[in-house]
């Protein structure tokens, strides 16, 4: 979905003296290569600098999560795909995502030519198709299958998974927003969740009774068995008692999709799209859906009306005797 994401220029200094540490050395050399050998303009080089600076920030955050620095030879296809998922979650326009992917591909080709990496992981990464692209959604039947899968097991992790998936579909929150939730962000008595989205903007989203029941089960019988540290405030925890990560959530969803015979390309954002589409299909007001999704601009929400238009057309052509 296209939206006006303001891009911040990330400084990269040749020699690795910038804020991104040792990763910046190779980026600085690449920018110098573009300037001296390719003759690129200052504006083009600034765009590469910003895009690669954003990649380095992502890798630094990943290194902090892993508690060890990530060097360029350690970046694989899975890590690059996690970065692309991060761009999607930030709702960059497809054209912007495509530009950033192109910068990444050019940079890793440079690293490979220079012998800094043995293999180029970006070769297997595909650029998003730019153009009028409607979001992929799930049918209500597919959602029902997915949400029912965790109930096949009676484990703390299964109760957690059921609560996460139910809450994601009940609210349309971004996966980053879901994993960032703390205990005091959920009010089961009133049936609301407090969410902090882009720019730390707070919004209150209602949750239906079924989601409240599943969350109550997790909080009462699942989460206490996952907690390892007194005073832990994170709502959703992994087996080590730590806050679940975005990548962890993504892998959990992939495993359930595989188990249920669903499309393995379903992502947490697919459930967000499905929430919006199903709410509008059910008669929800467009402005209200915009508020729940946390869209700054109504145009980002209006893309779902095009999905509805397509479905209306399909119903018409199936029903009208002269349309066949």
Active-site residue numbers? Answer: 174, 198, 269, 272, 295, 304
What DSSP assignment string belongs to 172-185? ---HHHHHT-BGGG
Within 8 A by CB and 6+ apart from 88, the residues are 97, 267, 269
Secondary structure in 3-state letters for 250-262: HHHHHHHHHHCCC
Backbone angles phi and psi of 202, in degrees to 5? -90, 140
If we measure between CA atoms, which residue out of 233, 238, 241 comes closest to residue 250? 238
Query: What gap in Å lies between CA 261 and CA 204, rounded to an integer?
Result: 34
Burial of 222 (0-12, 13-18, 19+ CB in 10 A): buried
Tokens standing for residue 316: 């018409």
Residue 322: CA count within 13 A, CB half-sphere: 0
Secondary structure letter of residue 48 according to DSSP? H
DSSP class per residue in 6-21:
PPPPPP--TTTTSTTT
Distance CA 38, CA 25 (A): 19
Give the total residue count for the chain: 324
């Amino acid at each position: 979905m296209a939206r006006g994401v303001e891009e911040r220029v990330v400084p990269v200094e040749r020699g690795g003296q910038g804020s991104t540490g040792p990763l910046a050395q190779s980026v600085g050399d690449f920018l110098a290569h573009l300037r001296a050998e390719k003759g690129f303009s200052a504006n083009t080089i600034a765009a590469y600098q910003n895009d690669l600076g954003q990649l380095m920030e992502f890798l630094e955050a990943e290194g902090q999560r892993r508690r060890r620095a990530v060097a360029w030879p350690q970046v694989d296809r899975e890590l690059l795909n996690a970065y692309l998922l991060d761009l999607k979650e930030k709702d960059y326009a497809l054209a912007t995502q495509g530009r950033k992917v192109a910068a990444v591909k050019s940079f890793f080709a440079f690293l490979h030519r220079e012998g800094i990496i043995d293999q180029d992981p970006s070769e297997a990464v595909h650029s998003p198709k730019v153009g009028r692209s409607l979001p992929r959604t799930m049918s209500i039947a597919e959602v029902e299958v997915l949400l029912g899968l965790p109930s096949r097991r009676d484990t703390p992790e299964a109760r957690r998974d059921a609560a996460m998936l139910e809450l994601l579909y009940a609210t349309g929150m971004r996966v980053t927003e879901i994993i960032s939730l703390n205990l005091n962000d959920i009010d089961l008595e009133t049936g609301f969740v407090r969410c902090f989205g882009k720019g730390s903007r707070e919004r209150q989203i209602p949750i239906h009774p079924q989601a409240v029941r599943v969350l109550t089960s997790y909080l009462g019988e699942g989460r206490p068995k996952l907690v390892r540290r007194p005073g832990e405030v994170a709502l959703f925890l992994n087996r080590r008692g730590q806050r679940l990560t975005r990548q962890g959530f993504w892998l959990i969803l992939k495993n359930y999709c595989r188990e249920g015979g669903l499309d393995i390309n379903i992502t947490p954002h697919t459930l967000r799209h499905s929430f919006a589409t199903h709410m509008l299909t059910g008669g929800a007001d467009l402005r209200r859906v915009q508020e729940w999704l946390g869209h700054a601009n109504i145009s980002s929400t209006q893309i779902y009306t095009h999905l509805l238009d397509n479905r209306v057309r399909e119903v018409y052509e199936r029903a009208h005797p002269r349309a066949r």
